[in-house]
Chains A and B, each alone.
Chain A
Amino acid sequence: MARTQQETTRERDRITDGDGVAVESALIGDDLELSYPTSNETIVDCARIDIPEGAVTALVGPNGSGKSTLLKALSNHLEPATGTVEIHGEPLESFSQKELARELSVLSQENDSLGSITVEDLVYHGRYPHRGFFESVSDEDHEAVERAIELAGIDDLRETELGQLSGGQKQLAWIAMVLAQETDVLLLDEPTTFLDIHHQFRVLETIRQLNEERGVTIAVILHDISQAARFADYLIAMCDGELYDWGPPEEVVTEQLLADIFGIEATVEYEPELQVLPKRSLPDRRT
């Protein structure tokens, strides 16, 4: 039951979960049109996007469909050409940079790798928004860092310098840094890309745990649609800068969707659990 965007625009004013119960949104993008300052081309055009409170939402879509751009707008890294973004009902602009960083943390896709900083020092940087210019580390900071390191499971790497870590360990260290920020909303841009399968699971399990134990709202861009389908509470499927569909994975993931936005032929099985079995690419793929 793939709904098109136009059909659902109105009903999505109040979003519902699988049982038809209304869900609060932590983050709402309203009437967003996004473009980069260097060009006039509109990258993303979407009437409304909701990131439901206390749930894990996965953004999926092919390369260049505007997922990262959308995430940048949701995290105040990119000012929308039109439209507003609200967090817990208040527009992003009403927060100072530091206040916002206490509400919302973001992990970018590419992190410049600094060789000579230890994992622990990196995680302490996550406390930046909680500290004043001259303030030193408080007990609270210390505890937050301990919690973050434990949750990410990188206690044994503490004293290791970032340059000596593998890609997967590095990603866990960066995740620990945003965990130390202790925000209610966490946005992650492709945290599992380029990782081996073990570390992919470590990252996803950490995110899931964070969501279940602390009720943190999470939006995460994932490349692997079958992984996203199994992992997330909600999916947002994007195509060509527009919202293709939105909802729980069982509703969103269909063979039609896979053909439409990813250009692949695939079988989707719903029993015993949602499974995507990709078969081959479709020849008439739009470019």
Chain B
Amino acid sequence: MAEAQSIGGQTSVQKQGGRAGWVTGRLVLFCLASMAVTVVAGLVQVSFGEYSMTISEAWHAVFNPNVLFNLDAWSAFLFGTELPGMSTASIVVWNLRLPRVFVGIIAGATLAVSGAIFQAVTRNELASPFVLGVSSGAGFAVLATLVVFSGLSPFLPLIAALGGTVAFVVVYTIAWKGGTSPVRLVLAGVIVNMVFQSLQQGLFFFADDLGVVQTAVAWLTGSLTGTGWDEVRIAIVPAIVSIAIAVAGARQLNVLLLGERTAQSLGMRVERVRFFLSAVAILAASVAIAVAGIVSFFGLVVPHIVRNTVGGDYRRLMVGCLFAGPALLVTADVGARLALSGTQLPVGVVTGLLGGPYFLYLMRKQQSMGEL
């Protein structure tokens, strides 16, 4: 829990330096709780499965100094060099189960951050990475690759991200009329979504192999099954970059939320900031899509949960999302992997099943859902 302590330390430093009153006790508590959930869920994930071990065995494998302090092992994990010899437990934990947890952490954080950005940029609490066409564009690209250009399958994550970006650019172009507006962006997103979804459904008719269809469905619902260090390697750098920019841009988002005219008269180049931050959100969402497919509802619900707990200030919201996203996705993935013995559900099914009702609950409970 060294990380937790360093965060506590940061808080006190920030409180001294200038007016950093935005770091509240509630936020710190929320982040610590989220982190605890992530760790527990991660350990459960690591311990159970076909090669079962006790919690303490799993702990020992995770904190096995022979692996933790083995540079060769880390270079194998992070750069794909040859794996040094280690015990079966270590291999199962470090090479099969832990990377899946890491992918969950990365995808959870990026999706949550991306959703939070989109909700501010469009000033619409129904916005998510997927409203602006990203998901359907990525989904279509994935399906097209699997069904038509199966030779390109190794590049699936890249293609997914590319598809998402293209769809977003299309949405932005449609919405652009000497400037964009949140409403036009969302409308264009909905329409582009519909077109791409029709295309997806059309493509399914051309898939003659059941395996291809299953892979495609796993992608389209979002799944962490079979993810490993490869996925971590793909995702880690863009994830860190996009998250860092998002956290740094939290103040811009706060000003953007004051309304376009106010933001402009405060000296913000609204169009430019909106486009730039949208691009960051796309990058973050693409990272998640590339490694986990399209995890439904996640980017929409998590910012709401965090907002409900720590308030609407984006400086707090971003930090909260950063911790809550991983906690929720890793937990959901535990459910997806272990709930039904013998078969694994796509994690997107779990998030959709839990996220939808929770969102409804939030709506019923809160009178002022309309306000960000």
Judging by beta carbons under 8 Å apart, are B312 and A75 in contact?
A: no
Q: In chain B, residues 250-283, which have Cβ atoms closer than 8 Å to a Cβ of chain A? A: 252, 254-255, 257-259, 261-262, 264-269
Q: How far is the CA of A112 from the CA of B311 in the complex (A)?
A: 18
Q: In chain A, residues 102-137, which have Cβ atoms closer than 8 Å to a Cβ of chain B? A: 102, 105-108, 111-117, 121-122, 124-126, 128-129, 133-134, 136-137
Most buried by B among A102, A105, A114: A114
B150 to nearest A CB, angstroms?
45
Partner pick for B258 among A125, A133, A163, CB 8 A cutoff: A125
Partner pick for A181 among B20, B252, B266, B268, CB 8 A cutoff: B266
Judging by beta carbons under 8 Å apart, are B312 and A114 in contact?
A: yes
Q: Inside 8 A of A77's CB, which chain B residues have their CB? A: 261, 264-265
Q: Does B3 contact A (CB under 8 A)?
A: no
* Stretch touching chain B among A93-101, A196-204, A242-250: A93-101
Given A121-B313, A133-B248: A115 touches B267 (CB 8 Å cut-off): no
A75 to nearest B CB, angstroms?
6
Q: How far is the CA of A198 from the CA of B268 in the complex (A)?
A: 34
B221 to nearest A CB, angstroms?
34
Residue of A nearest to B368 (CB): A115
A245 to nearest B CB, angstroms?
28
The number of chain B residues touching the other chain, given as a range, is 20 to 34
As a 0/1 sequence over residues 350 to 372 of chain B, the CB contacts with chain A under 8 angstroms (1 = contact) are: 00000000000000000010011
Judging by beta carbons under 8 Å apart, are B312 and A117 in contact?
A: yes
Residue of B nearest to A134 (CB): B248
Q: Does B9 contact A (CB under 8 A)?
A: no
Judging by beta carbons under 8 Å apart, are B312 and A105 in contact?
A: no
Q: Inside 8 A of B259's CB, which chain A residues have their CB? A: 108, 111-112
Chain A residues bordering chain B, tally (CB within 8 A): 36
Q: Inside 8 A of B17's CB, which chain A residues have their CB? A: 136
Residue of B nearest to A37 (CB): B178
Q: How far is the CA of A136 from the CA of B264 in the complex (A)?
A: 20
Given A108-B261, A116-B312: A101 touches B267 (CB 8 Å cut-off): yes
Given A112-B258, A115-B312: A97 touches B372 (CB 8 Å cut-off): no
Q: Does B18 contact A (CB under 8 A)?
A: yes
Q: How far is the CA of A114 from the CA of B252 in the complex (A)?
A: 15
Q: Inside 8 A of A128's CB, which chain B residues have their CB? A: 255, 266-268
Q: Inside 8 A of B372's CB, which chain A residues have their CB? A: 114, 116
Q: Inside 8 A of B368's CB, which chain A residues have their CB? A: 115, 163
Q: Does A142 contact B (CB under 8 A)?
A: yes
Q: How far is the CA of A163 from the CA of B257 in the complex (A)?
A: 14
Q: Inside 8 A of B264's CB, which chain A residues have their CB? A: 77, 97
Q: How far is the CA of A112 from the CA of B267 in the complex (A)?
A: 17
Residue of B nearest to A136 (CB): B18
Judging by beta carbons under 8 Å apart, are A108 and B262 in contact?
A: yes
Q: In chain B, residues 1-25, which have Cβ atoms closer than 8 Å to a Cβ of chain A? A: 17-20, 22
Q: Inside 8 A of B254's CB, which chain A residues have their CB? A: 117, 121, 125
Judging by beta carbons under 8 Å apart, are B371 and A114 in contact?
A: yes
Judging by beta carbons under 8 Å apart, are B19 and A124 in contact?
A: yes
Partner pick for A113 among B178, B261, B268, B371, CB 8 A cutoff: B371
Q: Inside 8 A of B267's CB, which chain A residues have their CB? A: 97-102, 128-129
Judging by beta carbons under 8 Å apart, are A97 and B371 in contact?
A: no
Given A113-B371, A163-B368: A125 touches B255 (CB 8 Å cut-off): yes
Q: Inside 8 A of A75's CB, which chain B residues have their CB? A: 265
A114 to nearest B CB, angstroms?
6
B277 to nearest A CB, angstroms?
12
Judging by beta carbons under 8 Å apart, are A101 and B312 in contact?
A: no
A101 to nearest B CB, angstroms?
3
A78 to nearest B CB, angstroms?
10
Most buried by A among B22, B177, B257: B257
Q: How far is the CA of A137 from the CA of B18 in the complex (A)?
A: 6
Q: How far is the CA of A2 from the CA of B371 in the complex (A)?
A: 48
Q: How far is the CA of A11 from the CA of B312 in the complex (A)?
A: 54
Partner pick for A125 among B19, B266, B269, B311, CB 8 A cutoff: B266
Partner pick for B265 among A37, A105, A112, CB 8 A cutoff: A105
Partner pick for A114 among B178, B257, B268, CB 8 A cutoff: B257
Q: Inside 8 A of B255's CB, which chain A residues have their CB? A: 125, 128
Q: Inside 8 A of A116's CB, which chain B residues have their CB? A: 307, 311-313, 371-372
Residue of B nearest to A98 (CB): B267
A38 to nearest B CB, angstroms?
9
Residue of B nearest to A109 (CB): B261
Residue of A nearest to B270 (CB): A97
B312 to nearest A CB, angstroms?
4
As a 0/1 sequence over residues 225 to 263 of chain B, the CB contacts with chain A under 8 angstroms (1 = contact) are: 000000000000000000000001000101101110110
Q: How far is the CA of A198 from the CA of B302 in the complex (A)?
A: 43
Q: Inside 8 A of B311's CB, which chain A residues have their CB? A: 116
Residue of B nearest to A99 (CB): B267
B152 to nearest A CB, angstroms?
39
B195 to nearest A CB, angstroms?
26
Q: How far is the CA of A113 from the CA of B312 in the complex (A)?
A: 13
B123 to nearest A CB, angstroms?
8
Q: How far is the CA of A102 from the CA of B267 in the complex (A)?
A: 8
Q: How far is the CA of A128 from the CA of B258 in the complex (A)?
A: 12
A271 to nearest B CB, angstroms?
41
Beyond the given A37-B178, A97-B264, A128-B255, please list 13 additional residue pairs across the A-B interface where CB-CB is below 8 A. Answer: A77-B265, A98-B268, A100-B267, A108-B259, A112-B123, A112-B259, A112-B262, A116-B307, A136-B20, A137-B18, A142-B18, A142-B19, A163-B371
Please provide the 9 A-B residue pairs with the shortest distance between their CB atoms, ordered closest to farther.
A101-B267, A129-B267, A116-B312, A98-B267, A112-B259, A106-B265, A128-B266, A115-B371, A108-B261
21 examples of A-B residue contacts, CB within 8 angstroms: A97-B267, A99-B267, A101-B266, A107-B265, A108-B262, A108-B265, A111-B262, A114-B258, A116-B307, A116-B311, A116-B371, A116-B372, A117-B312, A125-B266, A128-B255, A133-B248, A136-B17, A136-B18, A137-B18, A142-B18, A178-B265
